[in-house]
Structure 1
């Protein structure tokens, strides 16, 4: 394969995080890993991202407060002359919505219905629901070697993700209450009024429930690798669910509600997929979980950065050839 010059663009104003992200930012993590892997494979990559980001690619920082059409204008003025393909990761597909001569693919990391010429979704389910089966899909990946593994577990349940109603935090608390298990909740509060009104009183009332806020690095790895299981009671059309593969890479099982891409991510462990919260409660009580080694092997075979990069390169070649 000839070396490509690829533009990677990520600027999700107003919540853009530096690359690599420290304690939140799943999209930023995926874009960072993809960029690094493309560079390792010998491609020329220019990354447009938040100021302060670190990368092996040529880096062009965005000015603070840039948004909407301003993102596209800025990229077009700073872009190198000879570019083979643009990969737009912005939540509003800022470049993909323009009719550019340079082939442009858009990864739709969030569940939005938006017409672009070359859409890429992060699961088959997202492509079906949001794209009506049009375009491509590429699963998110990670580097298993960067995740600490433990076959020995402690007795706590773990919820890790943005603290929002639709992520199922209240359902995670219900599961912990009904099973009388310790629960650790980790993640950034995205709706403080809702947190203070509905979540905080439940947490204060139960000494076995602990909220630790957003976590990253070693603290995140420790929580994941020692958890008895990760609860994923998501109530919305989650396009992928990165924490599921992060947990399994650490050898930790995931019990999930059948929403969004759960059946694809947990395809190798269908008995961990539940149709209701009572079924999730029953699974926790039974405690019959997959072997930690089989969980890590599963992720290493199906959800790696290398596989993700290979899939994107195939799509780049296709759009370059066909326009």
Structure 2
């Protein structure tokens, strides 16, 4: 097939540091090329895949739809729209289009694909399809050895639970490393920075990638995921487990779906999470966590599912 991938216009594909959606687009594109498909990617300047890249000559998502139509390559079999507002749903294109909804937002599209069953049910009202995100497990370093720190890794916004992660570390007297881009600057300045200044056990290291990201994920004693919203997936959960690192997560959104075989790593309340952190002992073997991710959340499995849905869209199937 000749497949067109359309990325958001914020981070390069792949991203240098954070950017879960862009990492998924990259892995999806690479695996499709490996399987003999031709992939063309619309993405920010500096992006690369084994296929072809058409860079956006502007910043932001507003002009993506018109730019794609004006520069649409010939003989495209399927378009895969990853933009956060499903930009291509608002224009006429004489090519089948599928839309992955990466955020917990409702975009009224004909062929929606959610990143979890939970997101499809709660956001999409049960309509559409779901494909779990996947990673290449061999790209994540495994370690039995763990350090003396807890880890919070994700966007620095209220709904991701960074404040609750700090509360947990302070209550239990443990070191916490906070990694991720600041997306709520006011909250960071007013509520995070004063606590960092007061407590040397709390450390913010900014957005991370490469060696720093690998070391944090594989050496963390535990990844904290105290989300305050209905998380549509939670890529960092499977990344940590691929490194053999246990997690403690609030059982919201897709978390019960992702951690289904590991009930001891899920919590129904902040108090339960705090209780488990006192004198914390990992409840599952690191090898078991990595094996599970490889079996359940591989890129290969993700691409199998997407190829099936591409064929449905090409055949004219638009039902749920």
Compute the TM-score of the two structures, normalised by the length of structure 1.
0.95
Residue in 2 that maps onto 1:59: 53
Question: What CA distance in whole angstroms lies between the structure 2 residues aligned with 1:112 and 1:100?
Answer: 23
Conserved 8 A contact 1:96-1:105: no
2:79 to 81, 86, 101: 86
Aligned counterparts of 1:130 and 1:98: Cα–Cα separation in 2: 23
Do structure 1's residue 189 and structure 2's residue 188 form an aligned pair?
no
Gaps of 5+ in 2: none
Pair 1:50 & 2:47 matched: no
Whole-angstrom CA distance in 1 between matches of 2:281 and 2:167 = 20
Matching residue of 1:302: 296
Q: Given that residues 76 and 95 in structure 2 are in contact (C-alpha distance below 8 angstroms), is that contact kept between their aligned partners in structure 1?
A: yes
- SS of equivalent to 2:315: helix
Distance 1:224 1:155 in 2: 13
Q: 1:71 aligns with which of 58, 64, 89?
A: 64
Select between 219-228 and 184-193 the one with higher mean Cα deviation. Answer: 184-193
CA–CA distance in structure 1, aligned partners of residues 72 and 112 of structure 2: 21
Where structure 1 has 5 or more consecutive residues not aligned to the other structure, the ranges are none
CA distance, structure 1, for counterparts of residue 106 and residue 12 of structure 2: 26
Cα deviations across residues 27-66 of structure 1 (Å, max 9, x unaligned)? 0000011001100000011110001111111111111235
Q: Aligned-residue CA RMSD in angstroms?
A: 1.1
TM superposition shift of 1:77:
2.0
Aligned to 1:171: 164
SS in structure 2 of the partner of residue 221 of structure 1: helix
The farther-off stretch of 281-290 and 48-57 is: 281-290
Query: Size of the alignment, in residue pairs?
Result: 316
The answer on whether the counterparts of 1:20 and 1:54 sit within 8 Å (CA) in structure 2 is: yes
Rounded to whole Å, the distance in 2 between the matches of 1:193 and 1:271 is 35
Match of 1:7 among 4, 8, 15: 4
Cross-structure match for 2:20 = 26
Alignment of 1:139 onto 2:164: no
Task: Determine the C-alpha separation between the residues in 1 that align with 2:97 and 2:37.
Answer: 17
Mapping of residues 262-273 of structure 1, within 5 Å:
262-273=255-266
Q: In structure 2, how many angstroms separate the alpha carbons of the residues matched to 1:92 and 1:180? A: 42
- C-alpha deviation, 1:11, in angstroms: 2.2
